Structure 1
Amino acid sequence: MSAGGIKEQRLFARNRNFRALLVSSTSGVLGNAVAAVALPIIAAVELQASNFEVAALAGMTFLPWLILGLLIGVWVDRLPRKPVMMAALAVRVVVLGVLPLGYWLGFLSTPLLFGVAFIAGVASVFFQLADAALVQQAVTPDELMEGNGLITGSGAAADAAGRAMAGWLTSFAGASNTLLVQLAASIVSLFAVQRLDVKEVVQPPTKRPIVREMADGLRYTFSTAPLRALLFNAALWNLGGNIAASLIVLLVLRTLGESEVWLGLLLAAASLGGAVGGVTANWMGERFGSGPLWRWSMVPGVLGYGSLLVLSPGWGMLWGVAGMFVMGASVSWNIVVGSSFRQRVCPPGMMGRLGAASRTVSWGMLALASLTAGVLAETVGIRQAILVGVVIACTAPLVALLGPLRGVTRLEDLAEAPAPVPREEAPKGSL
């Protein structure tokens, strides 16, 4: 066993709160993976929705980041994070349970599907911001790369299992019935969160206007060159990559005429690659430096999405399986390095707002990408729309390779200086 694997096991064994967060995160990812496959299949197969509706549906779970992310980030910083996570999971269980019920009782519809996806997305914003803040407090700064790598790898493995299982289940049990797996996974995640015992860092009660605190988070996100570079890289990748990702269902089921099983395998390959990337990120960061790892990680990722352009029925689908694996590993390396750096530099009381501001920009692109994918699919065709997405995704590694971090070997060395203080909270007498 590698030294990195032993270190990860030691962290898992010695830290009860990290174990609870890992179980909660992994269970949640498993359920979300099942839903990510089932929802567009419900639209495409059970409801016979249009190409635009199928592609746009993928963006509904990310639209809350674009329109509510900053506001929710302020609330997450003002509230204890554990109750927020539990409430968010409970909402997801109730809301997603409506879809199988609608299928059984005959009131399932496309507007209902979009509404459920949006509300579940709002709950996910609360959960993920609170979860990221608690990871920062559950491990030491030197354990962040290790912990985030293990969480990313475990989550990616669960994502692979969930997507493969969903592709198989939807083919014989129906997509709506497959969502029952998501409900069970959310309940497991809820019990894991209940076991957390972290002494939380929460903002003192304040009467400051919420708008000013939202501005704090946005200002902090753009306050340093490293944070800006990480943000622009993620935003461009999400915009281009998710145009391609939003059209995979249509490409496989309608253009190529393949089954949901192949769809599940493609999506599972991306997640399996993510698992490999997550568990190797700490070792690769130590071996090559977190800076070079972050800068070069998206180059093979672009090639991975490019493999979708050469897919053909039958064994020609294997090009996509290999490409999605490579893409998943690349994204995991990028996420682990970027998330660890943000958690290392950000004060605990700002973590919710930093996460909200950065994801409002970067994950908001996921919602815009899905809508753009839907329009492109209807106007220029599915394969041509995927090509547009791949071209846009190429700009992400260019930002990393040519930007202000092009000569940095270890991003963590940039965190040694004190983090900038938001203007409204600066000590008296400072500029």
Structure 2
Amino acid sequence: MAAGAFPRFWAAATISSFGSAVSGVALPVLLVQVLDASATEVGLVNAAQFVPYAVLGLIAGVYVDRWRRRPVLVVTSLGRAFCLALIPLLWLAGGLHAWSLALLLIGFGAFSVFGFAASQSILPSLVPRSELVRANARLDQSDTAAQTAGPLVGGGLVGLFGAPIAIAVDAASYVVDAFLNAGLRVDEARSVDAKRPRLVAQLREGFGWTYRHATLGPLAVSTHVWFLASSASGTVLSLIALRTLGLSPLVFSLLIAGGGVTGLLGASLAPAVGRRLGPGPTIIGARLLYAVTWLIVALTMGTPAAVPALFVALALHGLAAGIENSNEMGYWQALTPDRLLGRVNGTRRSINRTVAVLGSALGGVCLTLIGDRGTLLGIVAVFAVATAIVALSPLRLQGRRWDPEAPSEA
């Protein structure tokens, strides 16, 4: 374990998470109320930041395995800060439109491809593998705390200064993130082997570990399907809450914050739940809860209970995410060799975000074509498919006796 490195890494992640939580409120308000975007435009802009994952995601994993990961974290955080800072500047200059916002989010996403691959791959160098679930739980606690307090701050900033200016807070958070990660003390001697395999061979090796592994393969596919539903629900949530139900930015921020509170609770419970049930049953149970969550929203839409049900549903969604995330990420990191972490993380995230592009766009299109309830029921069905994939796989057998230190074979 790199002494003192994880707390600094944790602090950097926490600060950028708070900034991202502010943007989580500001961006939908910017799109729906400031730019008056259509449902289709909202879906396309939401999808824009995920487009680079389809183009660069697989390659990013290879290079993150070749490069030192700390410098990648620093450069990508500064790049994201630059892209976000241009949003309020363009708005002040009168040049911000849905299409220009989409272009900036594509740039933001390009830096994020490399940044997330590096951040998920460096953690096993900072803590022992037996501590990965706990370390991921701490990161999730910070993230969910940010989702709780950040939207309230974001809602206040949007109300006082407007959505474009609020996004500048997120840009500043990435600058601080870069500064903290620049000071990480971690041994990252990368191989300089002259006989390094070619790019295609390295990509193939990452794919093989991701999809041929008995338990990781089905988990990866299930997660891809989950991202289709989750990204569609993100588009649907902002349009239903702000337009159909007419929630104010402040109430919308409270809605998101409610999910953050339960997410923080879930992240706090995650290590204990994982030890009690094992990673397999924990992941399967959480994925089932997502389907239940959106079924509640679908069944109450158009009734007087719609707004309270939306708050309850987002709270359950947050609880499921808090419990699942650290157990799933710890499971991947524990089973994957360090030399493959960049490629495996890059492969998964590339496909996940590519699917998210489709889901974000489909959410807006389906709302236009089949309405609120039909779209919501479709989201429920896709979440159910994601649950079934892992429930019927060998992952269900990875119970409380699972040992994170035991060697794994693909």
TM-score normalised per structure 1: 0.89
Q: Return the alpha-carbon distance in structure 2 between the equivalents of residues 274 and 62 of structure 1.
A: 23
Question: What amino acid maps onto 2:384 in structure 1?
Answer: C
AA of the residue aligned to 2:237: I
Change (3 A) 1:153 1:411: farther
1:211-222 paired onto structure 2 within 5 Å: 211-222=200-211
Residue from 18, 25, 41 that aligns with 2:29 = 41
C-alpha contact (below 8 Å) 1:144/1:340 kept by paired residues: yes
3-state DSSP class of the match of 2:184? coil
Pick from 46, 53, 65: which aligns with 2:41? 53
Match for residue 256 of structure 1? 245
Query: Per-residue CA shift, 1:14-55, capped at 9, x if unaligned?
Result: 941110111111112212222232223212111111111112
1:367 paired residue number: 357
Q: Whole-Å Cα distance in 2 between the matches of residues 378 and 418 of structure 1?
A: 47
Q: Does 1:345 align with 2:309?
A: no
Give, in angstroms, the shift of residue 80 of structure 1: 0.7
How many residue pairs get matched?
A: 408
Q: Distance in 2 between matches of 1:342 and 1:369?
A: 24
Q: Kindly provide the CA deviation profile for residues 348-404 of structure 1, in whole angstroms up to 9, marking residues without a partner as x.
A: 121110101111222322221001112212211234222211221111221222222
Are the aligned partners of 1:221 and 1:358 in contact in 2 as well (CA < 8 Å)? yes
**Is residue 192 of structure 1 aligned with residue 180 of structure 2?**
yes
Match of 2:394 in 1: 404
Alignment-derived partner of residue 225 in structure 1? 214
Deviations 1:136-175 (A, max 9, x none): 1100011111111111111111122222322332233211
Q: State the AA in 2 paired with 1:77.
A: D
- Alpha-carbon distance between aligned partners in 2 of 1:411 and 1:243, rounded to the nearest angstrom: 36
Partners in 1 of 2:152 and 2:354 — Cα distance? 27
* Same amino acid, percent of matched pairs: 26
Give the superposition deviation at 1:297. 1.4
Question: Once the 2 structures are TM-superposed, how far is the Cα of residue 311 of structure 1 from its aligned partner?
Answer: 5.0
Matches within 5 A, 1:164-313: 164-206=152-194, 207-309=196-298, 310-311=300-301
Q: Give the secondary structure class of the aligned counterpart of 1:97.
A: helix
Most deviating of 401-410 and 49-58: 401-410
8 Å CA contact 1:344, 1:415 repeated in 2:
yes
- Aligned letter for 1:396? A
Structure 1: tracts of 5 or more residues without a match: 1-10, 421-431
- The code of the aligned residue for 1:305 comes to W
In 2, Cα distance between the equivalents of 1:278 and 1:411?
21
- Give the stretch that moved more between structures: 74-83 or 205-214: 205-214
Distance 1:67 1:325 in 2: 34
Q: Is the 8 A contact 1:243 1:370 kept in 2?
A: yes
Amino acid at match of 1:380: I
- Asked if 2 retains the 8 angstrom alpha-carbon contact of 1:251 and 1:383, the reply is no
Distance 1:415 1:236 in 2: 29
Relative distance call for 1:315 and 1:191 in structure 2 (3 A) is farther
Residue identity in the other structure for 1:355: N
Aligned partner of 2:407 in structure 1 is 417
RMSD of aligned alpha carbons: 2.1
Distance 2:283 2:347 in 1: 21
- Aligned partners of 2:264 and 2:319 also within 8 Å: yes
Letter in structure 2 aligned against 1:333: I
CA contact (8 A) 1:86 1:194 kept: yes
Q: Is the 8 A contact 1:244 1:390 kept in 2?
A: no
Partner of 2:144: 156
Give the distance between the partners of 2:402 and 2:49, measured in 1 at CA.
32
Deviates more, 1:196-205 or 1:129-138: 196-205
Counterpart residue number, 1:429: none
Q: Is the 8 A contact 2:5 2:126 kept in 1?
A: yes
User: SS at 1:268's partner residue?
Assistant: helix
Contact 2:297 2:306 in 1 (8 A): no
Structure 1 equivalent of residue 372 of structure 2: 382
Whether contact under 8 Å (2:154, 2:253) holds in the other structure is yes
The one-letter code sitting in structure 2 at the alignment partner of 1:275 is: L
Supply the distance in 1 between the matched residues of 2:146 and 2:137 (Cα, whole angstroms).
14
Q: Which residue of structure 2 aligns with residue 85 of structure 1?
A: 73
1:341 and 1:412 in contact (8 A); partners too: no
130-139 vs 170-179, which moves further: 170-179
Aligned to 1:427: none
Partners in 2 of 1:108 and 1:242 — Cα distance? 24
2:130–2:405 CA contact under 8 A, matched in 1: no
Cα distance change on mapping 1:352 and 1:331 into 2, 3 Å: same
Tell me if structure 2 keeps the 8 A contact 1:250–1:382: no
Aligned residue type for 2:211:
F
**TM-score, normalised with respect to structure 2:** 0.93
